[in-house]
């Protein structure tokens, strides 16, 4: 039992993700500021599984839901402060496309690549999100992190996060609540042109308007995962309500009839087939949250 006015019980999670699948959270909270977050953590039993959910763009929630507390930051955690120094301070719930567009209007360059990433600031830090020739580590100065067990707040600089390709050393017991980015002065019109170019590229090369979670697998060294999947003749392959996008091999698209287990099984089908044909072991980039099949290893 979690006794707190901001905590709700049995809240559906599927519609909070881009795949639109998955069951409910036993407990759910959407704190609007740091004080509220820490007060929720203070009354949460030590043995409670805590899952942080951002914009749901790289996760699949199990059909049975999550037997624990799901935290989704809101309110002040989506605020931005664009400073004359070029620093951009953004709450962890800030959508990355909004961050890029807001900076562009102010003539602050360096964050343009975020316009093509449908996640939030907190997720971008945790996964060192990137694209179009840049990544989070190149523009991040420092973050504010809350320990989910103790509620303690610390500031971490970029170097201490050990950021590499789709990796940080942040643990599941830590939540990013704020990030400070460094930008450079630029011409707003030129920055806007770059945003349009990135947006156009995404429309031409990725299956927009479908139920997907972006890139499913991390790119192995030397060759993009999508190219490997295509080389294996798997582009367009389907099993029931899930298929490999004919537009991009690293995007798995689901229909409204799909279940989380369908998606999980298909991801592992593609992974196993690639290993069989090439010897390459693809590592999923998307996260499976809750209880899935035996291969999952999730909580």
Q: Which residues are catalytic?
A: 166, 215, 285
Residue entry with tokens 């909270």:
29
**Using CB atoms within 10 A of its CB, is residue 54 exposed (0-12), middle (13-18) or buried (19+)?**
buried
Contacts of 243 (CB under 8 A, 6+ apart): 236, 237, 252, 253
Number of helical H runs and strand E runs in the chain: 6, 18
Question: How many Cβ atoms are within 10 Å of 83's Cβ, its own excluded?
Answer: 12
- Rounded Cα–Cα distance for residues 195 and 200 (Å): 9
Nearest partner of 191 among 93, 138, 256, 112, judged by Cα: 112
């Amino acid at each position: 039992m979690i006794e707190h006015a901001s905590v709700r019980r049995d809240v559906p999670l599927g519609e909070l993700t881009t795949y639109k699948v998955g069951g409910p959270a036993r407990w759910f909270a959407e704190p609007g500021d740091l004080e509220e977050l820490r007060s929720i953590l203070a009354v949460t039993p030590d043995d409670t599984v805590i899952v942080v959910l951002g914009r749901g763009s790289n996760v699949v929630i199990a059909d049975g839901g999550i037997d624990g507390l799901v935290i989704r930051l809101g309110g002040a955690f989506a605020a931005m402060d664009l400073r004359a120094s070029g620093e951009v301070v953004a709450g962890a719930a800030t959508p990355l496309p909004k961050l890029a567009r807001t900076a562009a209007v102010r003539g602050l360059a360096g964050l343009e690549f975020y316009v093509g990433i449908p996640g939030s600031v907190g997720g971008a830090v945790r996964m060192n999100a990137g694209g179009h020739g840049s990544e989070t580590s190149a523009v991040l100065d420092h973050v504010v992190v809350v320990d989910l067990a103790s509620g303690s707040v610390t500031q971490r600089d970029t170097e201490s996060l050990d950021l590499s390709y789709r990796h940080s050393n942040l643990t599941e017991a830590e939540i990013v609540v704020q990030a400070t980015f460094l930008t450079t002065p630029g011409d707003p019109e030129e920055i806007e042109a770059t945003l349009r170019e990135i947006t156009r590229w995404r429309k031409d090369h990725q299956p927009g308007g479908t139920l997907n979670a972006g890139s499913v697998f991390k790119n192995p060294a030397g060759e993009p995962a999508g190219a490997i999947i295509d080389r294996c003749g798997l582009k367009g392959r389907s099993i029931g309500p899930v298929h490999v996008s004919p537009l991009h091999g690293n995007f798995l698209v689901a229909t409204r009839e799909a279940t989380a287990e369908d998606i999980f099984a298909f991801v592992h089908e593609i992974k196993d087939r690639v290993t069989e044909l090439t010897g390459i072991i693809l590592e999923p980039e998307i996260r499976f949250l809750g209880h899935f099949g035996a291969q999952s290893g999730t909580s």
